[in-house]
């Protein structure tokens, strides 16, 4: 091979140019999401802080102009302390915030024990059998079911209870606790509990899969060590495995809850989209709980609204002011979700740093 | 000493095979590669210390030494494979036919076309056999299907794989056996028409039968290519190489004609290693 | 230890030390816990059964004698071939085609935008980006994935249509753009599926062993060649699966398309008009407070069933592709 080796080939330049262009395209695509996120936040934020320009209306608008000057922006302190209203400048998200809060708490109460329990069973108890495979396949398919189908299920199973109780409308089950009674309407109808149960079904697959991953990451040496000390399987799980997997489980649960918080479709089909001018259990502050503790028990069976629903309602409203109210609602919702996401990321980050198995 | 005798015997057998196949002896050679004072670092950690060596044209040079001794690093420095690794840097010069390969105007892609490489684990792409071999020419801009088919056939023939796969060129390369996959990788490297072929323990993951086929192949290939091979196996070095270099802890301890190195090593460490006292 | 001890025969068992199985509260609790956990785990199976039961009884065949299911009133043939969907009019038509058309036009636009961008971002993150940039970008993508669908719908309505589509198409190209239109819904849908495509494809790309990349470089490839001609083909099954999952998500997406595309069932391919998807119909029908038992109410289940079958089919296909064509790297 007497041909001299050439290490500087001019025709390679074209290939390098193509490569560079490709890199730029890919880099641009990565930034695309960030740019959209920025534009979205800016446009929504701008709308949330301004009212639409007042139209030149014929006379008798003296009250309207006073009104426009009295409120500075859609997103103000008043926005948090008032109910929805037919007058856009007086409308707020008090009912929606408390509704969303109740939803999240109830969903967490239902989905965490069931989700973690399922994950523990699948990872710790079941051996690689047909049942486990079946449940696993089922879970991955459930995770892909659109939320609107869950909504239909929630409507059928909780709001109407498959029509089992339609014969005697308005029937309720009175549960006697030691010192007080709770009225449980049957079927659940359009109450918080229906919404919470529907959202629970929706997030369960996510919670289970995330918990399974967290449990799987716990090294088996911990289990072996615990068994060697004479602990039973449940004691090992209860005191060693689950605590060790807790950060991972928490991350998954928070992310799932933040998804539930933003879901509107399931609640719409349940029929929660109504004009609601009260909070569940009439609780609007912590002190109300002490004044009327029974409200805590009544709340799950109250009709409700939630943040995404309230936002949708405002978006659909023809008056321009409501679009700005919707923007203000979106800013509140996004802030809450961002906080939850950040919290989850911080937990995961801490966990990754502090624990080296 | 018996081990010396066995090595001598191996080298002797090889020379007989060489004369039988009319492969010219390796005395009047040019050096293809000239490495001077190469220090190599992965981040803070220094992997090579002041290595200087020449590699003879159209001959097989084997690198031996215990694992972690820097022989693979040295091999990968020759086609700048270490460029991909974050934090890798070096000083010293590596000359390929007198040209500094680390010079700023050198295109690393052009370099790697001239200096092919075969890895320890066979790495067929999950494509057809044909597409695997045609990959190099294709990315280099060869579009003509007839030309590609010719290159594929020639490369597979040179890699002694043609007869086994000629009827199923469109089958997935992953369906081949381990030994066939490794020869496919060699064919794939040959398809870019390199001058130098670097082999990083090409037979260590293969069964004895496949190993001997790959060794035969290397033996054939040295008529046209400059081959540098890293091996764990000293018998293999003795069987196939003309030159052998012994690395230890990042230093090049000794490099000599294979027969001389195995029979009369100059350094104590080399002797200890080839007699099996460590490593 | 004294010597005497060593020499002595085996110590007699302490009273009470028995290794045989016997009833104890600890064992009973173990069994109880196990049963409860199994109950939790089978709840997911129960959910599936409930979904299937719901669709069967409400859409296919009613179990109670005095009610009928949707397909007992409307023939499957009409449902699949009628080109009009008008359950709320006097002259009722139940042809799913306009809804399917709306769904697939919008999901198609979303895929055309979201799939390439998501894949390109995945390639950048897996092949080009520095680890630090990757660590910074991943949470941003997670935030993007966490933005509720209602918000995207609002964004489409108040930003994409008036400030992007109308200037581009109406002012420049003289194409009428409705205030509710399939295009804006498709655009935000595309943005919504980027995180799904990106993170799943990136997982697939990163699972390609390093040796394959090195082999590519050793054959004289540029980074572009290695990324596009070695790594992407090697991760092909994972990428296809991520595409299928993203499309399935786009088809099932509700609020964004409901807000942005409006609720006008239309069998047309013009993306600048209002269209209704299957999901948007379901939301719209529930808003009207349809009484149970009416045919409009039952049509909810028929549409839901169609949607369920399509998305389930795509998910199963995605899993099948992933398992069937997965290249096995040890």
C40-51 tens-digit pLDDT: 888 889 999 999
- Which of A185, A152, A153, A191 shows the shortest CA–CA distance to A166? A185
**Best to test chain A binding among B59, B107, B114 (most A CBs inside 10 Å):** B107
Tokens coding C12: 């007699």
Chains that touch B (3 or more CB pairs under 8 A): A, C
- Which of C154, C232, C262, C145 shows the shortest CA–CA distance to C197? C145
Q: Do A117 and C40 touch (CB under 8 A)?
A: yes
CA distance A349 to B245: 48
Distance of CA A271 to the CA centre of its chain: 18
Q: Do B112 and C230 touch (CB under 8 A)?
A: no
Q: Which domains does chain B have, with CATH numbers?
A: 2-274 (3.40.50.300)
Q: If you count them, how many residues does chain A have?
A: 357
ipTM of the complex: 0.85
Nearest-by-CA chain A residue for B139: A15
Q: Do C220 and B110 touch (CB under 8 A)?
A: yes
* Predicted confidence band of residue C290 (pLDDT cuts 50, 70, 90): low
**Which positions ≥6 away from C91 have C-beta within 8 Å?**
none
Please work out, in degrees rounded to the nearest 5, the angle formed at the alpha carbon of residue C147 by the alpha carbons of C141 and C152: 115
CA distance A154 to C207: 39
CA distance A253 to A176: 32
Q: What is the mean pLDDT of residues C147-152?
A: 91
Q: Do C212 and B125 touch (CB under 8 A)?
A: yes
Of B97, B107, B139, the CB nearest to A8: B107
Bigger pLDDT: A95 vs C197? C197
Contacts of A9 in chain B (CB under 8 A): 107, 110
Strand partners, A172: A185
Contacts of C248 in chain A (CB under 8 A): 144
**B195 phi and psi, to 5 degrees?**
-95, -35
Chain B, residues 133-152, CB within 8 A of chain C, namely: 135-136, 138-140
CA distance C147 to C156: 14
**Which positions ≥6 away from B253 have C-beta within 8 Å?**
B65, B246, B247, B267, B269, B270
Please work out, in degrees rounded to the nearest 5, the angle formed at the alpha carbon of residue A113 by the alpha carbons of A110 and A115: 90
CA distance B240 to B222: 10
Tokens coding A334: 């996004």
Average per-residue pLDDT for chain C: 84
CATH of domain C79-325: 1.10.3720.10
What percent of chain C has pLDDT above 90? 29
Closest CA of chain B from C225, distance in Å? 7
Q: Do B81 and C220 touch (CB under 8 A)?
A: no
Nearest-by-CA chain A residue for B224: A1
Chains that touch A (3 or more CB pairs under 8 A): B, C
**Which positions ≥6 away from B211 have C-beta within 8 Å?**
B179, B203, B236
pLDDT higher than 80, residue C64 = no
pTM of structure? 0.84
Beta carbons of B95 and B73 less than 8 angstroms apart: no
Contacts of B105 in chain A (CB under 8 A): 8
CA distance A195 to A96: 13
* Predicted confidence band of residue C116 (pLDDT cuts 50, 70, 90): very high
Chains that touch C (3 or more CB pairs under 8 A): A, B
**Which positions ≥6 away from A49 have C-beta within 8 Å?**
A73, A74, A75
**Which positions ≥6 away from B36 have C-beta within 8 Å?**
B52, B92, B93, B94, B95
Tokens coding C15: 């009273």
> Tell me, what's the pLDDT at A2?
38
What percent of chain B has pLDDT above 70? 93
pLDDT higher than 60, residue C237 = yes
Cα B197 to Cα B58, B194, B201: the distances in Å are 10, 7, 12
Closest CA of chain A from C148, distance in Å? 5
Cα A231 to Cα A216, A226, C18, C303: the distances in Å are 20, 6, 17, 53
* Predicted confidence band of residue B17 (pLDDT cuts 50, 70, 90): confident
Inform me whether the C-beta atom of residue B188 falls under 8 Å from chain C C-beta atoms.
Answer: yes
- What is the topology classification, in CATH, of domain A76-354? MetI-like fold (1.10.3720)
Bigger pLDDT: A276 vs C138? C138
Nearest-by-CA chain C residue for B82: C214
> Tell me, what's the pLDDT at B269?
87
**Best to test chain B binding among A2, A4, A5, A9 (most B CBs inside 10 Å):** A5
Q: Where in chain A is the domain with CATH 1.10.3720.10?
A: 76-354
Q: In C149-172, which positions are buried (b, 16+ CB within 10 angstroms) versus exposed (e)?
A: bbbbbbbbbbbbbeebbbeebeee
Q: Do B185 and C217 touch (CB under 8 A)?
A: no
Closest CA of chain B from A26, distance in Å? 19
A310-336 tens-digit pLDDT: 888 888 877 777 888 888 889 999 999
Nearest-by-CA chain A residue for C63: A162
| Secondary structure, 3-state, chain C | CCHHHHHCCCCCCCCCCCCCCCCCHHHHHHHHHHHHHHHHHHHHHHHHHHHHHHHHHHHHCCCCCCCCCHHHHCCHHHHHHCCCECCCCCCCCECCHHHHHHHHHHHHHHHHHHHHHHHHHHHHHHHHCCHHHHHHHHHHHHHHHHCCHHHHHHHHHHHHHHHHHHHHHHHHCCCCCCCCCHHHHHHHHHHHHHHHHHHHHHHHHHCCCHHHHHHHHHCCCCHHHHHHHHHHHHCHHHHHHHHHHHHHHHHHCCHHHHHHHCCCCCCCCCCCCCCCCHHHHHHHHHHCCCCCCCHHHHHHHHHHHHHHHHHHHHHHHHHHHHHHCCCCCC
Which uninterrupted H or E stretch holds A127?
Answer: none
C259-272 tens-digit pLDDT: 888 887 888 777 88
Beta carbons of C282 and C308 less than 8 angstroms apart: no
Tokens coding A291: 């004044």
Strand partners, B46: B41
Of A18, A23, A29, the CB nearest to C121: A29
Kindly report whether the peptide bond that precedes residue A187 is cis, defined as omega within 30 degrees of 0.
yes
The count of C-alpha atoms lying within 13 angstroms of the C-alpha of B37, restricted to the half-sphere facing its C-beta, is 2
- Which of B156, B153, B207 shows the shortest CA–CA distance to B178? B207
Closest CA of chain A from B195, distance in Å? 7
Contacts of C132 in chain B (CB under 8 A): none
CA distance C162 to C159: 6
CA distance A220 to A123: 12
CA distance C150 to C4: 83
Give the SS3 label for residue B134: helix
Give the SS3 label for residue B269: helix
Tokens coding C132: 């630090």
Q: Do A146 and C153 touch (CB under 8 A)?
A: no
Strands B196-200 and B115-118: parallel
- Which of A40, A100, A74 shows the shortest CA–CA distance to A336? A100
Cα A244 to Cα A122, A253, C20: the distances in Å are 17, 15, 32
CA distance B232 to B275: 14
B66-75 tens-digit pLDDT: 888 888 899 9
> Tell me, what's the pLDDT at A58?
47
CA distance C45 to A139: 8
Q: Which residues of chain A have pLDDT under 50?
A: 1-5, 56-70
Closest CA of chain C from A250, distance in Å? 16
Of C45, C150, C258, the CB nearest to A311: C150
Cα C127 to Cα A64, A252, C193: the distances in Å are 59, 28, 21
Cα C70 to Cα A159, A270, C81, C284, C309: the distances in Å are 20, 20, 16, 18, 16
> Tell me, what's the pLDDT at C187?
93
CA distance C244 to C321: 9
CA distance C148 to A28: 24
Nearest-by-CA chain A residue for C191: A33
Beta carbons of B141 and B147 less than 8 angstroms apart: no
- Which of A172, A177, A145 shows the shortest CA–CA distance to A161? A172
């Amino acid at each position: 091979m007497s041909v001299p080796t050439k290490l500087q080939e001019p025709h390679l330049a074209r290939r390098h140019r193509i490569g560079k262009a490709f890199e730029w395209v890919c880099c641009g695509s990565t930034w695309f999401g960030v740019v959209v996120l920025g534009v979205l936040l800016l446009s929504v934020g701008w709308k949330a802080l301004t009212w639409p320009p007042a139209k030149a209306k014929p006379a008798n608008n003296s009250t309207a102009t006073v009104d426009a000057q009295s409120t500075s922006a859609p997103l103000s302190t008043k926005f948090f302390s008032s109910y929805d209203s037919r007058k856009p400048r007086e409308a707020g998200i008090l009912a929606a915030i408390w509704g969303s809060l109740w939803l999240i708490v109830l969903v967490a109460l239902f989905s965490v024990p069931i989700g973690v329990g399922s994950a523990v069973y699948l990872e710790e108890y079941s051996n690689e059998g047909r049942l486990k495979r079946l449940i696993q396949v089922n879970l991955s398919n459930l995770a892909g079911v659109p939320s609107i189908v869950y909504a239909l299920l929630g409507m059928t199973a909780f709001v109407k209870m498959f029509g089992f109780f339609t014969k005697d409308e308005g029937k309720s089950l009175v549960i006697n606790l030691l010192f007080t009674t709770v009225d449980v309407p049957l079927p659940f109808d359009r109450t918080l509990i229906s919404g919470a149960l529907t959202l629970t079904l929706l997030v369960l697959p996510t919670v289970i899969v995330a918990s399974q991953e967290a449990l799987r990451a716990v090294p088996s040496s911990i289990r072996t060590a615990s068994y060697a000390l004479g602990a039973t399987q449940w004691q090992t799980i209860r005191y060693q495995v689950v605590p060790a997997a807790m950060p991972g489980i928490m991350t998954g649960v928070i992310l799932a809850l933040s998804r539930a918080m933003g879901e509107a479709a399931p609640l719409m089909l349940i029929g929660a989209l109504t004009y609601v001018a009260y909070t569940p259990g009439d609780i609007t502050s912590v002190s109300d709980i002490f004044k009327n503790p029974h409200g805590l028990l009544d709340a799950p069976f109250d009709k409700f609204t939630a943040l995404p629903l309230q936002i949708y309602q405002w978006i659909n409203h023809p008056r321009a002011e409501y679009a700005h109210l919707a923007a203000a609602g979106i800013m509140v919702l996004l802030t809450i979700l961002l906080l939850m996401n950040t919290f989850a990321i911080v937990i995961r980050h801490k966990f990754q740093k502090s624990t080296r198995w | 000493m018996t081990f010396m005798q066995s090595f001598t015997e191996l080298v002797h057998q090889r020379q007989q095979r060489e004369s039988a196949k009319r492969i010219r002896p390796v005395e009047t050679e040019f050096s293809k590669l000239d490495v001077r004072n190469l220090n190599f670092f992965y981040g803070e950690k220094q992997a090579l210390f002041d290595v200087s060596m020449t590699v003879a044209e159209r001959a097989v040079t084997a690198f031996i030494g215990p694992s972690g001794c820097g022989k693979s690093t040295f091999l990968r420095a020759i086609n700048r494979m270490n460029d991909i690794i974050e934090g890798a840097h070096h000083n010293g010069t590596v000359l390929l036919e007198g040209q500094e390969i680390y010079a700023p105007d050198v295109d690393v892609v052009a370099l790697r076309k001239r200096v092919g490489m075969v890895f320890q684990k066979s790495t067929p792409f999950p494509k057809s056999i044909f597409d695997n071999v045609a990959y190099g020419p294709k990315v280099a801009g060869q579009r003509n299907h007839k030309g590609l088919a010719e290159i594929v056939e020639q490369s597979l023939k040179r890699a002694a794989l043609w007869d086994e796969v000629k009827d199923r060129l469109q089958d997935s390369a992953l369906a081949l056996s381990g030994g066939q996959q490794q020869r496919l990788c060699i064919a794939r490297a040959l398809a870019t028409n390199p001058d130098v072929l670097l082999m990083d323990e090409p037979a260590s993951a293969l069964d004895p039968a496949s190993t001997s086929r790959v060794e035969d192949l290397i033996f054939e290939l040295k008529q046209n290519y400059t081959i540098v091979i890293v091996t764990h196996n000293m018998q293999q070095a003795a069987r196939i190489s003309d030159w052998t270099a012994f690395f230890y802890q990042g230093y090049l301890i000794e490099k000599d004609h294979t027969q001389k190195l195995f029979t009369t090593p100059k350094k104590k460490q080399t002797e200890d290693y080839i007699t099996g006292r460590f490593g | 230890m004294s010597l005497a001890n060593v020499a002595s025969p085996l110590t007699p068992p302490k009273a009470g030390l028995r290794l045989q199985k016997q009833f104890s509260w600890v064992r009973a609790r173990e069994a109880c816990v196990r049963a409860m956990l199994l109950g939790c785990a089978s709840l997911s199976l129960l959910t599936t059964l409930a979904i299937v039961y719901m669709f069967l009884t409400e859409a296919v065949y009613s179990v109670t004698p005095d009610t009928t299911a949707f397909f007992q009133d409307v023939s499957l043939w009409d449902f699949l071939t009628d080109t009009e969907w008008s359950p709320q009019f006097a002259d009722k038509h139940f042809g799913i085609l306009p809804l399917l058309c709306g769904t697939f036009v919008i999901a198609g636009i979303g895929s055309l935008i979201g799939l390439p961008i998501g894949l390109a971002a995945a390639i950048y993150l897996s092949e080009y980006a520095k680890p630090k940039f990757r660590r910074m970008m991943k949470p941003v993508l997670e935030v993007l994935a966490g933005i509720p669908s209602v918000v995207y719908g609002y964004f489409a309505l108040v930003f994409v249509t008036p400030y992007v589509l109308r200037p581009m198409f109406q002012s420049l190209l003289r194409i009428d753009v409705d205030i509710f239109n399939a295009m804006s819904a498709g655009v935000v849908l595309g943005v919504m599926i980027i995180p799904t495509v990106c993170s799943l494809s990136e997982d697939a790309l990163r699972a390609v062993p390093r040796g394959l990349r090195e082999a590519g470089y050793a054959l004289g490839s540029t980074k572009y060649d290695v990324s596009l001609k070695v790594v992407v083909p090697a991760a092909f099954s994972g990428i296809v699966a991520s595409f299928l999952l993203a499309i399935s998500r786009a088809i099932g997406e509700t609020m964004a398309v409901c807000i942005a595309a409006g609720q006008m069932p239309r069998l047309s391919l013009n993306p600048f008009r209002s269209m209704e998807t299957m999901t948007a119909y379901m939301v719209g029908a529930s808003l009207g407070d349809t009484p149970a038992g009416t045919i409009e109410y039952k049509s909810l289940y028929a549409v839901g069933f169609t949607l369920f079958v399509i998305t389930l089919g795509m998910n199963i296909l995605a899993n099948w592709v992933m398992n069937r064509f997965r290249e096995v790297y040890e």
